[in-house]
Amino acid sequence: MSLVPKQATEKVTANRRMLAVEISANLKYHLNKGTVIEATAALETLLTNSDVDTSLPMSMVAPPYPAQYLRFGEAAMHYLTVPDSQAADSVFDGVFCFFTPDPARHAKGEAVWTLELVFISKRQDCHNGHVALLGETDRGSTTVGEWLSNVLNTVAEQPVDEFHQSMHAAVSYVVRVFLYMALKQARVMEQPEYDEALRRAAGLGERKRAKLLRKCASRYNSILVGPASVPLATAAGGAGSAVAPHWRRGHFRMQPFGAGNQQRKLIFVAPVLIHADQLQGDVPVPKPYRAGTLAASVV
């Protein structure tokens, strides 16, 4: 007979499991020389007001590095929700993304990769949980929609309304970031803050160097992705229109080009803020379109 209440035992087990996953994710990230990726506030605004054609091939969604941590900014944190969270102020800090080939399958000539996503949640700047998702992808005909459905369906005993909807939005947002990075016109810049601080420290005296090195603990190298500002183009609208400022949602899609339009390329049609000249206060928050038949065609 156990003297420890079952609820307390389950909590300890869950905490140990959470710690094991986070240690494993961090270790895998460092062993693979992971890279921090951060989207600009402008890009987060554009992507949270955009959709993805789920018929796009998953081959377009390859992360740029074997290991990366996509850190979310305020716009993404506000847009995404942590499923089954007991605290209203719990948010996703970011997501570990691991893109690794399957050696056994590759040896047989099969181009198969594993895409692993470990979403890290936090509350009041303290990490307090994670959601891990894992799925195979290839260079074949698997679509974004099929991959999303397969990955979410492998998570057993999770209610659709509470878990699938939140994680569908979270995963599809990550997909949008990687699709943007695949564009030829994507704005991608290195931010070597940590390396630059170390270089400055090398030329300083002992006391100043020690002070700067202490500050380095909170600095890191990263890749900054996205435009510096949102192009607030105003769509046509009659004077005195009763329609409030709102976003006309953007989207990613494949566009025909070349001789006879036989070739395809990925394009991003950015969202447009309608009646931006009438805007008072904050920019309208995105409205995720997840109802009815639309949920089956866009994410």
Residue-wise pLDDT for 136-187, tens only, equals 887 677 888 888 888 887 775 566 667 888 888 999 999 999 999 999 889 9
Mean pLDDT of 274-293: 55
37 in Cβ contact with 225 (< 8 Å) = yes
Query: pLDDT band for position 297 (50/70/90)?
Result: very low
Mean pLDDT of 34-58: 92
Q: Taken in order 69, 19, 78, 221, is the CA torsion positive or negative?
A: negative
- Look up the pTM and report it: 0.81
Domain boundaries, the chain: 13-187
User: What is the structure's pLDDT at 293?
Assistant: 31
The residues, ordered by sequence, that sit 6+ positions from 76 with a Cβ below 8 Å of its Cβ are 39, 44, 47, 48, 92, 173
Lowest mean pLDDT segment, chosen from 8-22, 75-89, 265-279: 8-22
pLDDT tens-digit series, residues 78-137: 999 998 777 778 899 999 999 988 777 766 777 778 899 999 998 887 777 888 888 888
What secondary structure letter does DSSP report for 229?
S
Query: pLDDT band for position 299 (50/70/90)?
Result: very low
pLDDT tens-digit series, residues 204-247: 888 888 887 787 777 889 999 999 988 765 444 555 556 677 78
Q: How far apart are CA 189 and CA 223, in angstroms?
A: 6
Of residues 87 and 49, more confidence is placed in 49
User: What is the structure's pLDDT at 296?
Assistant: 30
User: What is the structure's pLDDT at 59?
Assistant: 82
User: What is the structure's pLDDT at 136?
Assistant: 83
Q: Which strand (E) or helix (H) includes residue 36? A: strand 35-39
Q: How far apart are CA 95 and CA 67, in angstroms?
A: 11
The residues, ordered by sequence, that sit 6+ positions from 244 with a Cβ below 8 Å of its Cβ are 275, 278, 284
3-state secondary structure (DSSP) of residue 126: strand
Encode 215-251: b = buried (16+ Cβ within 10 Å), e = exposed: ebeebbebbbbbbeebeeeeeeeeeeeeeebebebbe
